[in-house]
C-alpha cells in the first residue's frame, strides 16, 4: 500500500457530506426516533443515538483505512472534519425545525426527534450539543483506530458485548428472571436496558478477557498441538460431546420464545442448506426455491389435515417422507426444462416457476383441494408415541435432527466425486462436459437434493404452524434464503447457519423495528457486498477465489520451483 | 470400418455456421499410435474440426468414426468416455480448484461409485477416492509438476498450466488426445521441452495424438502425417517433407518468402 501523508481535503469533505446525508436521512425518516424508545444502557445511550453516530464511525473507519495516513494529527483532523460536517447538518435539522417548522414536509421531524438529537436539549443549545457530540465521535473513532491492535481488538470486544447485551436486554432479562428470579434480573436490567453500573462491569471484564485472549489462545492451541494423536482424537470427541450437550439442552436454556425463534432459524438453515447445494456448489441460480418449501408444506397439509381438505388423515411421520419425495420429484421436474439454460435465463425461469406454484395455490381451480387463499387448517402437530409436540422446545429436536442430517449430507457430498462435478460445472460448464461429466444428471441431482431439503423444511413448517396459506410462500422467502446464503458465504456450510442467525434471527428478536426491517435488510446486503463480498464465514473455495487468503502457501519462487521439476 | 488400424476416421465432415462454411468436406484418417498434425492459417477451421470431433459442435454433414464407432449425435461427455480427451488453445483449467482437484475431475470417466455411496462413505468409495488421488499425484509427477498439487490452477505459471491441462486430459486414460496449440505462447526452450514431452506421450503411453500447431518446427519434428487446412478445405496431406515441398501449401500458408526459411 502506498503511504501518503497528505490527504485531499475535498475528498474528506465529500465523505463528510455523504455521512451527513445518511445521518440526516436516518433521522428524518423516523428511524432514530423509533429506536430512541429503546435504551441500550439505561438513561445513557439509546439505540437511536447509535444510529445517528454509526455513519460517522463507519466513514471515519473507512477513510482512515483507505488513505493509510501515518501522522496522528492528520488522522484526528479527518475524524474531526467528518464528525463536524455531520454535526452541523444534524444541528441544522434542529435549527430549521425551530425557525421554519419543517415538519410540514418531513412529518417525522417531531419534537421527540429534536430531543433525541439534542440529548434532551432543544433550540440553540441542542444544536450545539449534537454538533459537539458528532465531532467528538469522529475524534474518538480516529483515536480508537490509532490504538495498538491488541487494545483495539480488546476494546472492540468490550463495546460489542456491552451494546449486544443492551440490545437484547428484554430477552436476556426474561431468561434471567426464569432462572434466578426477578431480583437478579432487576439488578442487571431496567425496562429493556442494561443498568449503567452493570454495563461498566461487563465492559471492563470483557475488555480484560479479550486483552488476554490472544496470548491464552496461542498457549492453549500450543498445548493441544503438543498432544499425541490419540489425545487429539479424544480432545476432538470432547469437543463434539460438548457440542451435542449444548444442542440438546439449548431449548431449556432459551425458553419458549427464543426456542420459537430458533426453530424459525432452523427451518431457514434447512432451506439454506438445500439452496446452497444448488447455488453454492453447482452454481445454478434458483430464484423460485420457495416452490419446494410450499410443496412440502401442502403435501403434509393435504395428507394429515383433520379438516375438510384432508384426504388421508395420515400420521405426520408417514406423510413426511412422502412430502420429501414429492418435492424431490418437483425438483427434477423443474430441472428438466431448464437444463440448457445458464445464468440470467435460469434465474428468470426458476423465478417464474416459484410464482406459478404460489398462483396455483391461490387459484380457484385448485381451491376444492388445497383451499385457495383460505389455505389448509387443522394440521395436527407431529406427535411422538401419541404425545403431540406442542411446545417449540419439543419441536426444536425435530428441526435439529433434520438440520444435522442435511448438514451431514451436504458435507459428505461436497467432499466427493459429485462435489467435484458440481464445482467443475460451476467453474466452466463446457470444459466439465468435455471431462466426461454428464451435465444433465449432475444438474438434476443438485436440483433434486436441494428441493428435498426445502420440502423437508416446508413439511416441518406445516406441522409447526398447523395451518398453511399461500401468502406464506411468496417470493420474499426465496430472496431471503438466497440472501442468507450470500451473507453467510456462498458454498459454506457454517455460513448458512450464520446467515440465518443474522437475517432471520435478528429481525425476529428485534421485532419492534419491523417497520424498517426491509430497509435494514437492504442496507446489510449492500454493505456486505461492499465490505465483505465473500460472506461472514466464507467457504474455503470462495476465500481462494477472492484471494483473501494471504498465507495460502504459494511459494514466491513458484516459477523456479516448477521448472526445477523437469 | 474394417481397417482396425485406423483410430479416427472423418468422412466428408462439413460444419457450417449460417452462410459460413468453417470446415468443408474434410477427410482424415488417423492411424493408431501416430502423431497427426493439422496446420493452417488463422481461421482455417482447425479448432472447429476439433470441436466437431469432441461433439461440442454437431457436424452439418459427413460422419466421424472413432475406433469403429460412429460419433455423430453423441454428446461431448459420451465422446470423452469413449476415449477422446482434449486440451484448449486458450488454457481452460478450473481456475479455483487445486491442481490435484483438476486432475481428479479429469479422472471422472474412470470412477465407478454411485453418488450416495459418498454419504455413507462405503469402503468402495473410500478406496476409489484414495486410488484417484494417488493416480492424480502420479500424473502430476509425470508431467513434471511434482509438489504443486495443492496450488490453485490459476496460480500456476503459464507453462505449468499447459502441462496440468495435459495431465487432466490424460487422467481419463484416453486413446486419442487432441492438443490445441500446446506450445502457444512458449519460448523456444519451453517449446522444445513440450515437443519432447508430446513425443514421450506417444512412445511411453501409446496414446494417439492429434495436434493443432502453429510452430512449424514442432509440427515438422514430431508429426508423421500433416493435414493443411485453408478456408476450411484440406489443401494438402502428407509427411513433413511432402508438405514442405507442396507449392499449394507454400502459397496458401507459408507465403513465398517463408518457404526458403524452412529449408534450413
- The answer to whether residue B166 is domain-embedded is no
pLDDT at A5: 54
Would you state the pLDDT for residue A550? 41
- % of chain A residues with pLDDT over 90: 48
Residues of A in contact with B155 (CB under 8 A): 554, 558
pLDDT in tens, A497-520: 999 999 998 888 877 677 888 888
Region A396-418 average pLDDT? 95
What global pTM score does this model have?
0.87
| pLDDT digits 0-9 by tens, B16-60 | 998 899 999 999 999 999 999 999 888 888 999 999 999 999 999
DSSP E strand stretches across chain B: 6-17, 20-31, 35-39, 61-66, 69-70, 84-86, 176-180, 208-212, 225-230, 233-238
Which of B215, B176, B224 is CA-nearest to residue B192? Answer: B215
Provide, as residue numbers in chain A, all residues whose Cβ is less than 8 Å from the Cβ of B54.
434
66-95 of B, contacting A, C-beta below 8 A = 75-77, 80-81, 85-86, 88, 92-95
Query: Above 70 in pLDDT, residue A541?
Result: no
Residues of B in contact with A420 (CB under 8 A): 97, 101, 104-105, 108
- Count of C-beta atoms within a 10 Å radius of residue A553: 7
Average per-residue pLDDT for chain B: 89
Helix axes of A290-304 and A316-335: crossing angle, nearest 10 degrees: 140
| Mutation to test the B interface, candidates A424, A427, A435, most B Cβ within 10 Å | A435
Q: How confident is the model at residue B3 (pLDDT cuts 50, 70, 90)?
A: low
Answer yes or no: are the C-beta atoms of A452 and A365 closer than 8 Å.
Answer: no
What is the pLDDT confidence band of residue A409, given thresholds at 50, 70 and 90? very high
In a domain, B157, yes or no: no
- Look up residue A468 and give its DSSP letter: B
Please state, in angstroms and rounded to a whole number, the distance separating the CA atoms of residues B128 and B113.
8
DSSP A393: H
**More reliable by pLDDT, A559 or A237:** A237
Q: Render pLDDT for A309-350 as a digit per residue (tens, 0 to 9).
A: 888 889 999 999 999 999 999 999 888 888 788 778 888 989
Whole domain around residue B47: which residue ranges? 6-19+26-83+174-259
Give me B245's grid cell.
Answer: 515441398
Please check whether residue B121 lies inside any domain of the structure.
no
| Cβ pair A561:B148 closer than 8 A | yes
Task: Tell me the C-alpha distance between A239 and A113, whole Å.
Answer: 50
Q: Which residue of A has its CA nearest to B90?
A: A431
- Please count the residues of chain A: 566
CB contact at 8 A, B228 and B195? no
In order, the DSSP letters of A169-220 are HHHHHHHHHHHHHHHHHHHHEETTEE-HHHHHHHHHHHHHHHHHHHHHHHHH
**Under a CB-based contact definition with an 8 Å cutoff, are residues A435 and B108 in contact?**
yes
Q: Which residue in the block uniquely carries the three cell numbers 484471494?
A: A547
- Across chain A, mean pLDDT equals 87
Cα gap A134→A84, rounded to integer Å: 6
Per the domain annotation, does B132 fall within a domain?
no
Q: How many domains does chain B have?
A: 1
At B246, which CATH number?
Answer: 3.40.50.300
| pLDDT tens, residue by residue, A267-311 | 999 999 999 999 999 999 999 999 999 999 999 999 999 988 888
Task: Please give the torsion angle defined by the CA atoms of residues A476, A477, A481 and A484, in that order, rounded to the nearest 10 degrees.
Answer: 60
With contact defined as beta carbons under 8 Å apart, do B148 and B160 qualify? yes
How much is the pLDDT for A483?
A: 93
Task: Identify whether B95 is part of a domain.
Answer: no
Residues of B in contact with A431 (CB under 8 A): 88, 92-94
Find all residues with CB under 8 Å of A439, minimum gap 6, and list them. A339, A425, A429, A432, A433, B77
SS3 B37: strand
Residue A553's closest chain B neighbor by CA?
A: B151
Cα–Cα distances in angstroms (integers) from residue B155 to residues A547, A552, B187, in the given order: 10, 11, 20
Is B197 inside a domain boundary?
yes
Note whether B77 contacts A417, CB cutoff 8 Å: no
Does B159 reside within a domain?
A: no
Percentage of residues in chain B having pLDDT higher than 90: 65
Share of chain A above pLDDT 70, in %: 94
pLDDT on residue A169: 86
Angle (CA) A432-A534-A352 rounded to 5° is 65
**Burial letters A354-383, b for 16+ CB under 10 A, else e:** bbebbeebbeeeeeeebbbeebbbebbbbe
Banded pLDDT at A450 (limits 50, 70, 90): very high
Q: Do B119 and A412 touch (CB under 8 A)?
A: yes
Task: Give the pLDDT confidence of A19-35 residue by residue, as tens digits.
Answer: 999 999 988 888 888 88
> Which residue, among A411, A420, A541, has the nearest Cα to B108 in the 3D structure?
A420
Res. A214: pLDDT tops 80: no
| Most A CBs within 10 Å, among B79, B96, B125, to test the A interface | B96
Residue A333 · residue A295 · CB < 8 Å: no
Could you read off the pLDDT of B191-223 as tens digits, one per residue? 999 999 999 999 999 999 999 987 888 888 899
Q: Where are the alpha helices (DSSP H) in A474-539?
A: 475-488, 493-500, 506-509, 517-531
Confidence check: pLDDT of A560 > 50: no
Per the CB < 8 Å rule, is B105 touching A566?
A: no
ipTM: 0.89
Amino acid at each position: 500500500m502506498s503511504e501518503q501523508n497528505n490527504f485531499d481535503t475535498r475528498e474528506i469533505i465529500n465523505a463528510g457530506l455523504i455521512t451527513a446525508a445518511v445521518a440526516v436521512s436516518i433521522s428524518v425518516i423516523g428511524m432514530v426516533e423509533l429506536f430512541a424508545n429503546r435504551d441500550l444502557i439505561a438513561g445513557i445511550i439509546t439505540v437511536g443515538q447509535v444510529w445517528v453516530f454509526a455513519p460517522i464511525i463507519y466513514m471515519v473507519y473507512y477513510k482512515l483505512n483507505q488513505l493509510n495516513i501515518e501522522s496522528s494529527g492528520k488522522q484526528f483532523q479527518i475524524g474531526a472534519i467528518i464528525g463536524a460536517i455531520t454535526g452541523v447538518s444534524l444541528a441544522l435539522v434542529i435549527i430549521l425545525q425551530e425557525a421554519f417548522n419543517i415538519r410540514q414536509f418531513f412529518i417525522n421531524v417531531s419534537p421527540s426527534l429534536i430531543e433525541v438529537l439534542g440529548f434532551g436539549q432543544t433550540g440553540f443549545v441542542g444544536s450545539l450539543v449534537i454538533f459537539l457530540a458528532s465531532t467528538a465521535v469522529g475524534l474518538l473513532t480516529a483515536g480508537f483506530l490509532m490504538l495498538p491492535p491488541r487494545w483495539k481488538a480488546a476494546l472492540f470486544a468490550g463495546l460489542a458485548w456491552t451494546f449486544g447485551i443492551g440490545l437484547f436486554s428484554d430477552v436476556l432479562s426474561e431468561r434471567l428472571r426464569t432462572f434466578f428470579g426477578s431480583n437478579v434480573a432487576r439488578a442487571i436490567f431496567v425496562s429493556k436496558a442494561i443498568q449503567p453500573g452493570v454495563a461498566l462491569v461487563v465492559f471492563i471484564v470483557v475488555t480484560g478477557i479479550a486483552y488476554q485472549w490472544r496470548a491464552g489462545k496461542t498457549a492453549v492451541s500450543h498445548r493441544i498441538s503438543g498432544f499425541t494423536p490419540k489425545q487429539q482424537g479424544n480432545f476432538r470427541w470432547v469437543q463434539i460431546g460438548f457440542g451435542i450437550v449444548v444442542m440438546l439442552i439449548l431449548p431449556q436454556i432459551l425458553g419458549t420464545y427464543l426456542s420459537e425463534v430458533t426453530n424459525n432459524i432452523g427451518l431457514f438453515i434447512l432451506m439454506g442448506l438445500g439452496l446452497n447445494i444448488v447455488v453454492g456448489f453447482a452454481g445454478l441460480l434458483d430464484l423460485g426455491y420457495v416452490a419446494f418449501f410450499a410443496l412440502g408444506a401442502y403435501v403434509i397439509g393435504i395428507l394429515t389435515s383433520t379438516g375438510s381438505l384432508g384426504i388421508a388423515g395420515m400420521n405426520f411421520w408417514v406423510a413426511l417422507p412422502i412430502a420429501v419425495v414429492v418435492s424431490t420429484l418437483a425438483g427434477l421436474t423443474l430441472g428438466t426444462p431448464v437444463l440448457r439454460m445458464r445464468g440470467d435465463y435460469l434465474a428468470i425461469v426458476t423465478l417464474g416457476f416459484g410464482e406459478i406454484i404460489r398462483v396455483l395455490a391461490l387459484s380457484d381451480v385448485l381451491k376444492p383441494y388445497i383451499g385457495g387463499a383460505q389455505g389448509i387448517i387443522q394440521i395436527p402437530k407431529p406427535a411422538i408415541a401419541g404425545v403431540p409436540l406442542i411446545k417449540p422446545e419439543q419441536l426444536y429436536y425435530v428441526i435439529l435432527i433434520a438440520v444435522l442430517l442435511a448438514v451431514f449430507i451436504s458435507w459428505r457430498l461436497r467432499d466427493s466425486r459429485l462435489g467435484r462435478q458440481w464445482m467443475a460445472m460451476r467453474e466452466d460448464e463446457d470444459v466439465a462436459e468435455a471431462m466426461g461429466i454428464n451435465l444433465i444428471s449432475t444438474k438434476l441431482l443438485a436440483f433434486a437434493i436441494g428441493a428435498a431439503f426445502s420440502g423437508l423444511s416446508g413439511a416441518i413448517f406445516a406441522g409447526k404452524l398447523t395451518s398453511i396459506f399461500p401468502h406464506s410462500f411468496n417470493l420474499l422467502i426465496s430472496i431471503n434464503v438466497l440472501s442468507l446464503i450470500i451473507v453467510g458465504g456462498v458454498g459454506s456450510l457454517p455460513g448458512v447457519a450464520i446467515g440465518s442467525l443474522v437475517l432471520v434471527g435478528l429481525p425476529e428478536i428485534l421485532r419492534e423495528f419491523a417497520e424498517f426491517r426491509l430497509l435494514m435488510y437492504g442496507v446489510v446486503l449492500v454493505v456486505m457486498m461492499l465490505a465483505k463480498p465473500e460472506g461472514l464465514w466464507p467457504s474455503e473455495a470462495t476465500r481462494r477465489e477472492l484471494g483473501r487468503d494471504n498465507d495460502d502457501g504459494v511459494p514466491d519462487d513458484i516459477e523456479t520451483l516448477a521448472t526445477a521439476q523437469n | 470400418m474394417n481397417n482396425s488400424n485406423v483410430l479416427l476416421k472423418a468422412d466428408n465432415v462439413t460444419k457450417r455456421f449460417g452462410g459460413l462454411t468453417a470446415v468443408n468436406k474434410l477427410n482424415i484418417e488417423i492411424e493408431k499410435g501416430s502423431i497427426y498434425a493439422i496446420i493452417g492459417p488463422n481461421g482455417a477451421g482447425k479448432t472447429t474440426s476439433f470441436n466437431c470431433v469432441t461433439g461440442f459442435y454437431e457436424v452439418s454433414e459427413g460422419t466421424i468414426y472413432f475406433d469403429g464407432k460412429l460419433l455423430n449425435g453423441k454428446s461431448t461427455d459420451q465422446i470423452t468416455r469413449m476415449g477422446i480427451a482434449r486440451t484448449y488453445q486458450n488454457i481452460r483449467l478450473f481456475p479455483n480448484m487445486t491442481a490435484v482437484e483438476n486432475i481428479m475431475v479429469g479422472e471422472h470417466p474412470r470412477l465407478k461409485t454411485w453418488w450416495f455411496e459418498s454419504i455413507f462413505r462405503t469402503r468402495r468409495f473410500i478406496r476409489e477416492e484414495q486410488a484417484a488421488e494417488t493416480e492424480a499425484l502420479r500424473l502430476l509427477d509425470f508431467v513434471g509438476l511434482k509438489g504443486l498439487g495443492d496450488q490453485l490452477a490459476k496460480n500456476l505459471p503459464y507453462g505449468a498450466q499447459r502441462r496440468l491441462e495435459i495431465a487432466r486430459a490424460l487422467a481419463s486414460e484416453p486413446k486419442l488426445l487432441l492438443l490445441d496449440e500446446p506450445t502457444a505462447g512458449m519460448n523456444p526452450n519451453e517449446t522444445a521441452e513440450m515437443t519432447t514431452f508430446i513425443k514421450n506421450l506417444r512412445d511411453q503411453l501409446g496414446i494417439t495424438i492429434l495436434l493443432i500447431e502453429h510452430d512449424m518446427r514442432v509440427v515438422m519434428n514430431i508429426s508423421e502425417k500433416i493435414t493443411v487446412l485453408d478456408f476450411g478445405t484440406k489443401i494438402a496431406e502428407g509427411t513433413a517433407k511432402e508438405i514442405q515441398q507442396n507449392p499449394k501449401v507454400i502459397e496458401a500458408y507459408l507465403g513465398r518468402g517463408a518457404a526458403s526459411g524452412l529449408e534450413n
